[in-house]
């Protein structure tokens, strides 16, 4: 069991991008923080929605038919099965929630390893 989890403190413990860290678990899901910068890969998750909350910076989530722009305190849930590509012009800090074991790239062959901090 853990007590209060300070997201900024957790984010201060690492500097690499596109490598989520699990900071808590909620039912079968990992609650993660991640730093992103630049474009990620186009991908989708056939079995789960994909939760994004911006903590710092500005993120564009490109979908095939439009772009969703997110600033601090704004969230978006990418629907299950929908192709998307997060793009960050500058470094962005995010809170992510996905079922534990979900590959961040949509493909276990290229996914970042699960890291718990």
Residues near a second copy, by CB under 8 A = 1-8, 23-27, 31, 48-49, 51, 53, 55, 66, 68-70, 73-77, 79-80, 95, 97, 99
Please enumerate in sequence order all residues whose Cβ is within 8 A of that of 84, keeping only pairs 6 or more positions apart, or say none.
42, 43, 44, 50, 61, 62, 63, 78
Q: Which of 108, 47, 36 is nearest to 78 (CA)?
A: 47
Report, in Å, the least distance between residue 15 CB and a second copy.
19
Nearer to a second copy, 55 or 112 (CB): 55
**Is the CB of 85 or the CB of 110 nearer to a second copy?**
85
Residue of 108, 6, 114 whose CA lies nearest to 55: 6
Task: Count other Cβ atoms within 10 Å, centred on residue 114.
Answer: 15
Q: Which is nearer to a second copy, 5 or 41 (CB)?
A: 5
Instruction: Give the shortest CB-83-to-a second copy separation in angstroms.
Output: 14
Minimum distance, C-beta of residue 37 to a second copy, in the bound complex (Å): 20
What secondary structure letter does DSSP report for 106? S
């Amino acid at each position: 069991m853990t007590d209060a989890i300070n997201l900024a403190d957790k984010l201060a413990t690492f500097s690499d991008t596109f490598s989520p860290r699990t900071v808590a678990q909620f039912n079968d899901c990992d609650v993660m923080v991640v730093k992103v910068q630049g474009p990620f890969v186009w991908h989708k998750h056939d079995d789960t929605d994909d939760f994004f909350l911006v903590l710092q910076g500005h993120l564009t989530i490109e979908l095939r038919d439009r772009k969703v722009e997110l600033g601090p305190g704004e969230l978006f849930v990418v629907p299950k099965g929908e192709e998307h590509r997060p793009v960050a012009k500058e470094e962005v800090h995010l809170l992510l929630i996905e079922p534990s074991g979900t590959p961040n790239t949509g493909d276990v062959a290229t996914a970042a390893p699960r890291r718990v901090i």
